[in-house]
Amino acid sequence: MKKIYLIILIVLLAIPLTIFAQETTKVYKVDKSKCIGCTICVQKVQCPTDAIEMKNGKAVIDLSKCIDCGLCALHCPVKAINEIEYVDTSATVEKEVLVEPEETNAIQQSLYVVDAEGCIGCTICVQKCPVDAISMKDGKAVIDTEKCINCGICADVCPVKAIKKLDE
């Protein structure tokens, strides 16, 4: 009977020890379906190691430079950057650089418009636009559709909601 208890005890201790012996690694990954290309994560304030660059209008994290600080995920306005944890049983985790497909010549059009009658000319949207796609003309905000990356920050910061998404 003592042998059975001893075997059970060993098994109960061995399972948690095996699990804790495995190395847990966290990395940050960009969900390309959510990334709007606003470039906020690329700015030095957000990424202290310059591990993020824009490719084909989307953020790409170079895992060989990333220190897993999470600042990019914290500042992403659409939560496209997420922490991913995985268990590595080999105990040696190598970071890799993700290779992105070649750029396409797709034309993107702005999904946001300014209601000129509603715009009060406060310039908050101009100041907050990460790609300088908004300017003022005759005291009203104007969106440059070629520069606009459809991040929606302008609509979020407009105090009178004069900037709206086309489908709303």
DSSP 45: T
Can you tell me the mean pLDDT for 62-79? 84
Domain coordinates in residue numbering, the chain: 24-102, 112-165
Calculate Rg over the CA atoms of the chain.
Answer: 24
The answer, yes or no, to whether residue 136 has pLDDT greater than 80, is: yes
CATH class, domain 112-165, is: alpha beta
Give the C-alpha separation, 9 to 3, whole Å.
10
- Pick from 51-60, 67-76, 116-125 the range whose average pLDDT is largest: 116-125
CA-to-CA distance for 122 and 98, rounded, in angstroms?
42
Query: What is the fold, at CATH topology level, of the domain defined by 24-102?
Result: Alpha-Beta Plaits (3.30.70)
User: Tens digits of per-residue pLDDT, 50-67?
Assistant: 889 888 888 898 888 888
Average pLDDT over residues 116-130: 92
Closest by CA position to 98, among listed 64, 50, 67, 48? 64
pLDDT at 124: 92
